[in-house]
Amino acid sequence: MTVVLSLIAGSMDVIGFLGLGGGLFTAHITGNLVILAAHVATGGAAQAAAMLSVPMFMAALFLARLLAGVLDKMGVNSLRPLLLLQFLFLAGCLAVCAPLGRDFDPNGETATIAGMVAVCALGIQNALVQVSLRGVPATAVVTTNLSRFTTDIGAILLGEGPDTVAQARSRAGRLWPSILGFVLGCAIGAVGEARFGLFAISFPASLALITLAMAWAPAFRQPSQPAALLRPVR
């Protein structure tokens, strides 16, 4: 499931950057801060989407965490409801973008609203990975994953003791699918946006529906069940 979630984050991030808010990152909120700071420093006009993305992301993350806490107290697994919410937000983003076609103002009100809906979807994804899929790598923060993966590869090649190498191999084995998924998502999202415009959002929206189906499938094993997978990446 982490691979599919990484595909969602990578593809939606690129589609949002190319088509929404004049260069809006929906998963890479750090990028929005950089763009906003650059506009302010150079005296350029700050984009509404960039300014709104950080508080919207934080609000979605907080509310998703709050919902997960309430569901946990009720004895309900939070994974499926949060995956459903993410799908609904991505489907809502697609519905908002559908009437725009190709000739529209990326900084206009409708595009900004669509961008904020997408930011909320990725905020929910960040929350569910932390609270509902504990012990798995992040699916929307490729910098952290790539840094940890590269460091672990270095430890393996240097042979820094059997225990250290074993831990590095284990972490690297969990990290590379998320890294690959995000990179592939970026590539697919870029090609899709270039050919189909904002209709390319149907790709991450469809993947969100697939993750929801995976969570309901009898064969799907929750990562929260095996104790070995509960160990966080240190």
| Percent of the chain surpassing pLDDT 90 | 47
Alpha carbon 219 to its chain's center: 24
The SS3 assignment for 38 reads helix
d(CA 115, CA 23): 10
Q: How many domains in the chain?
A: 1
Whole-structure pTM value: 0.85
Does 194 have pLDDT greater than 80? yes
Q: Does residue 227 sit within a domain?
A: no
Is-contact 6 181, C-beta < 8 A?
A: yes
Ranking 16-20, 32-36, 89-93, 198-202 by mean pLDDT, the lowest is 32-36
Q: Does residue 230 sit within a domain?
A: no
Q: Does residue 225 sit within a domain?
A: no
Is-contact 97 121, C-beta < 8 A?
A: no
Q: Does residue 204 sit within a domain?
A: yes
Which tens digit of pLDDT belongs to each residue from 94-140?
A: 999 888 877 777 778 888 899 999 999 999 999 999 898 878 888 88
Best CA proximity match to 6, nearest among 140, 174, 171: 140
State which residues form the domain around 186. 2-216
DSSP state of 132: T
User: What is the pLDDT at residue 45?
Assistant: 62
CATH of residue 88's domain is 1.20.1250
